[in-house]
């Protein structure tokens, strides 16, 4: 999660919402990303999507290896949960809850419907205080 937080700081330096993500398999980072929708002029360029794209390019496969874990500094949104399902992520560990758009436990619980052909396990709260402080500081500076 520390690597994801460092990526989130890079996003903030670019004026992007500070969210970072890393994909790990066999204790190795296989993909990484941070929020870049403004920089890339791409509304889909969330940290999770960028990490998925990076991993899939490195691996030359549109699906991730079994037991791939995503570490992300903020609870994934609907778009990202869908992409994580299609990429076959096994586990998601996130830092802070996202009360407005979080789609695992907060605003929606997409995986509880039983509709999808793939599910992943997830847990939140790892380094939540650090991630939350980074987000609060970012938005406070934008308002001030």
CATH of the domain at 64: 3.40.140.10
Residue-wise pLDDT tens digits, 72-115? 999 999 999 999 999 999 999 999 999 999 999 999 999 997 88
pTM score, whole prediction: 0.96
- With CA atoms as reference, report the closest residue to 72 among 131, 129, 11, 16: 131
Number of domains composing the chain: 1
- Annotation: binding site for Zn(2+): 46, 77, 80
Instruction: Give the tokens for residue 134.
Output: 């980074």
Residue positions forming the annotated binding site? 46, 77, 80
116 found inside a domain: yes
Token duo for residue 53: 């794209």
**From 13, 27, 32, 48, active-site residue:** 48
Task: Confirm whether 142 is domain-assigned.
Answer: no
* 48 has catalytic annotation: yes
Query: Does residue 43 surpass a pLDDT of 90?
Result: yes
């Amino acid at each position: 999660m520390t690597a994801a937080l460092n990526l989130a700081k890079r996003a903030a330096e670019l004026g992007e919402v500070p969210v970072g993500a890393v994909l790990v398999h066999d204790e190795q980072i296989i993909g990484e990303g941070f929020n870049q929708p403004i920089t890339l002029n791409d509304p889909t360029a969330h940290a999770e999507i960028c990490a998925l794209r990076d991993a899939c390019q490195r691996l030359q496969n549109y699906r991730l290896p079994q037991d791939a874990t995503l570490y992300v500094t903020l609870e994934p949104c609907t778009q990202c949960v869908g992409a994580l399902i299609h990429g076959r992520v096994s586990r998601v560990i996130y830092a802070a809850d996202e009360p407005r758009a979080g789609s695992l436990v907060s605003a929606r619980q997409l995986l509880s419907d039983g509709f999808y052909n793939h599910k992943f396990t997830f847990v939140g709260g790892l380094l939540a205080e650090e991630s939350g402080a980074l987000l609060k500081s970012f938005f406070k500076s934008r308002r001030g």
